[in-house]
Structure 1
């Protein structure tokens, strides 16, 4: 039996190295995953680094984006693939919420609610984060995720917390 095809939201973040190139290349690699189609990639946004103790203005700023994908990969298999892409881009995990070359998170997957040691869908903190909600609104403005509500309303609430990053030609 084939796995059901589902839409999903993937968050991209990078604050080390060539952030623009890393996110663009990672988006292409997500699009190349078997059984996966990249439907839309948001513009890039820049935001301050968030650490467990709060915003860290001394850390390099993040570039963030969100992709809307369609995939027939089950959630755990998708996470394994995303972790592989992170590793290919030099991701090291030394500290919680540490600086990184690439961070890929499954934020939401249509019809999936789960909590395991490795993966929680919907992502438990995504709805508190401007750098997820605002670009999500760019790729899926009609999304409604209970109990959080409409993505458009959440994005409006966070719209002053980050700015769109313009890539020079």
Structure 2
């Protein structure tokens, strides 16, 4: 228990911190920041949803035995995707999309979001503050950071909208 309590960025050696940084970078560029991943991930998520829902509809002990929801789920995906994307961007929708937006916000409030444990040591936190200051001051460097964040944020939000719309 004592060893577990002492786990953190300040107690990790430089090799572990460096490898963790490389690992987070590789993960992000291959998933969250990769537009191509969005398409493939969407196809996989749809296939998994259809397979799982079909199985639950046809199994004797299925949770929705005899139900016919696969078709309705497929029809609702574009609307739910729009609702998730709007929520991620802080926009409010109306009509049927607003209902899906409410479902998504409840989903998130119940702890649906998963992510990584951010292990920044003091130096990394200082660099992040410096980066944020550059962005707030509107310097050339700050504008480049903002542009990068805008592009990667749009791709990441599209990926999250697609992934969570199917869920």
Shorter-chain TM band: under 0.3
Compute the TM-score of the two structures, normalised by the length of structure 2: 0.25
Greater helix fraction, Structure 1 or Structure 2: 2
Greater C-alpha radius of gyration: 2
